[in-house]
């Protein structure tokens, strides 16, 4: 039962982070717009240390999963201190984000961690679609995001 409560708490933290971050997403975000993901094949996740500079192997302190579908791009970046899902729609200046902190995932099973991360990614994509009036509604398979679940190297075990 604590896993369910923990997952609910983590989801509430994600929603709160989105509300706090929503106004800053387009104006003050230090993360670049993930427009470089438009070069990816459609509806296929790519995973690498940073996709803007190629697909070098993920490291415990840096990993990015990227997705492109029509006018939507979605980047899920993991660092030592956070996981940030960024989404943008071509032709729209706004960018939406969801942030997950390591503490949000403590005590959760890898499956529940993946659920929280997947919901953050899908939440960012849906918010980008809504804020930009995009008609894109295809489903995004988030199975590839298992590679950035904490049990696979985040947060750093050192």
Convert the pLDDT of each residue in 103-124 to its tens digit: 898 898 888 888 999 999 999 9
Q: Residue 155: pLDDT above 60? A: no
Of the CA atoms within 13 Å of residue 134, those in its CB half-sphere come to: 25
Residues 94, 134: Cα–Cα separation, whole Å: 12
Q: Residue 30: pLDDT above 80? A: no
Average pLDDT on 140-150 reads: 76
pLDDT for 88:
93
Residue 157, domain member (yes or no) = no
| Structural element, H or E, at residue 63 | strand 62-69
Q: Residue 21: pLDDT above 50? A: no
2 or 58: which leads in pLDDT: 58
Residue 60, domain member (yes or no) = yes
Residue 158, domain member (yes or no) = no
- DSSP secondary structure string for all residues of 103-151: HHHTT--HHHHHHHHHHHHHHHHHHHHHHHT---------GGGGGGSGG
pLDDT band at 137 (very low <50, low <70, confident <90, very high): low
Residue 135, domain member (yes or no) = yes
38 or 143: which leads in pLDDT: 38
Task: Please give the residue range of the domain that contains residue 15.
Answer: 2-152
pLDDT for 150:
59
pLDDT band at 157 (very low <50, low <70, confident <90, very high): very low
Alpha helices per DSSP H over 34-101: none
pLDDT for 151:
57
Residue 46's alpha-carbon distances to 49, 85, 113, 148, in angstroms, are: 10, 14, 20, 12
Residues 31, 7: Cα–Cα separation, whole Å: 26
> Minimal CA–CA distance to 108: which of 153, 151, 60, 157?
151
Provide the domain count of the chain. Answer: 1
Residue 73, domain member (yes or no) = yes
Residues 107, 104: Cα–Cα separation, whole Å: 9
Q: Contact, 124 vs 118, CB < 8 A?
A: no
If you average pLDDT over every residue of the chain, what do you get? 76
Average pLDDT on 75-95 reads: 91
Residue 7, domain member (yes or no) = yes
């Amino acid at each position: 039962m604590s896993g369910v409560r923990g997952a609910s708490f983590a989801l509430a933290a994600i929603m709160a982070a989105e509300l706090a971050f929503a106004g800053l997403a387009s104006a003050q975000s230090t993360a670049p717009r993930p427009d470089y993901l438009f070069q990816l094949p459609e509806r296929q996740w790519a995973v690498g240390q940073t996709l803007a500079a190629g697909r070098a192997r993920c490291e415990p302190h840096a990993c990015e999963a990227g997705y492109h579908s029509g006018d939507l791009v979605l980047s899920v970046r993991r660092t030592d201190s956070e996981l940030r899902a960024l989404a943008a729609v071509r032709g729209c200046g706004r960018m939406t984000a969801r942030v997950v902190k390591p503490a949000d995932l403590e005590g959760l099973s890898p499956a529940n961690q993946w659920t929280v991360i997947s919901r953050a990614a899908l939440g960012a994509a849906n918010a980008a679609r809504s804020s930009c009036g995009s008609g894109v509604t295809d489903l995004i398979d988030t199975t590839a995001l298992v590679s950035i679940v904490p049990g696979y190297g985040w947060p750093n075990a050192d």
